[in-house]
Copies of this chain bind each other. A is one copy, B any other.
C-alpha cells in the first residue's frame, strides 16, 4: 500500500492519480471531491483507495512529492557562485512556484505526520545550507534561524496569494529585506504614486485632465464632509 507498486500499470495509475490530485488540490484545495480526482485520473474511486488509504493520505503524498522537487532545487543551488543570489533567488523561486500551485504552500506548512521527520528534515537541511552560506557571505543577518526563514518563506507565499495584483513579488522583496544585513536593503525612493486621500487606494493617473484626488465619488463626498465648514 505504502511502498512503490511493482507492476508497470499499477505504477502508472499511481502517478496519474498523484498528478490529478495535485492539479485538483492546486486549484480548489482540499474541498475537491475524491470522485472528481478519480475522474481526472481516469480511474475508478476504488483504485484511488487501493493506492492511498484515505483522502488525507493522498493529499500528504501529493505534498511529499512536491517537497521532493523543491529540495532538489535547493541542493542544485548549493554550489552556486554567489551565495546571496542563490539564497534570495531560491526564496523567490519557491514563492513563485507556490503562486501557481497552492499545494506547495500547504506542503511546507502542513504537518506530514509519519513522514514528517524525513521530508521535513530534508527540506530544512537543504534550506539551512543555503542560509549558512549566505550568512557567511554577509548577505543575511546572523540572528535568524532556518526555522524562521522557513516560516517567512511560507508567509511570503500566503501574502502573495492575498495580493495577486502587481507588482508581483513585492511582498517577498519586502520580507527579504527583513533578512538582509542592515546596509543592503532594497529600499527605494518613495514612489510618488498618488493615492486616494480617503482610503489610500492607488490612483491610476489619467492621461489628460486634472489629476484625480479620490478613487471614487463616495470618497470625494466623504472628504467634502470632513472639511471644516467656512465660518
Footprint of B on A, CB under 8 Å? 109, 117, 120-121, 124-125, 128, 141-148, 151-152, 154-156, 158-159, 162-163, 170-171, 174-179, 181-183, 185, 187-191, 193, 195, 198-202, 218-219
The distance from the CB of A15 to the nearest CB of chain B, in whole angstroms, is: 23
Q: Which residues of the other chain, B, contact A187 by a CB distance below 8 angstroms? A: 141, 143, 181-182
**Copies of this polypeptide in the complex:** 4
The distance from the CB of A80 to the nearest CB of chain B, in whole angstroms, is: 20
A132 nearest CB neighbor, chain B only:
B200
Q: Which residues of the other chain, B, contact A154 by a CB distance below 8 angstroms? A: 158-159, 162
Assuming the contacts A178-B175, A182-B183, A200-B124, asked whether A189 and B143 have C-beta atoms less than 8 A apart, the reply is: yes
Q: Which residues of the other chain, B, contact A219 by a CB distance below 8 angstroms? A: 121
* B159 A151 Cβ-Cβ under 8 A: yes
* B143 A190 Cβ-Cβ under 8 A: yes
Contact residue among B117, B120, B195 (Cβ-Cβ distance under 8 Å from A218)? B117
Q: Which residues of the other chain, B, contact A176 by a CB distance below 8 angstroms? A: 178
CA distance A132 to B30 in the complex (A): 40
Assuming the contacts A117-B218, A178-B178, A182-B185, asked whether A124 and B199 have C-beta atoms less than 8 A apart, the reply is: yes
Q: Which residues of the other chain, B, contact A156 by a CB distance below 8 angstroms? A: 155
Q: Which residues of the other chain, B, contact A124 by a CB distance below 8 angstroms? A: 199-201
What 3 pairs across the A-B complex have the smallest Cβ distances? A142-B190, A178-B178, A155-B159
Assuming the contacts A128-B200, A199-B124, asked whether A155 and B171 have C-beta atoms less than 8 A apart, the reply is: yes
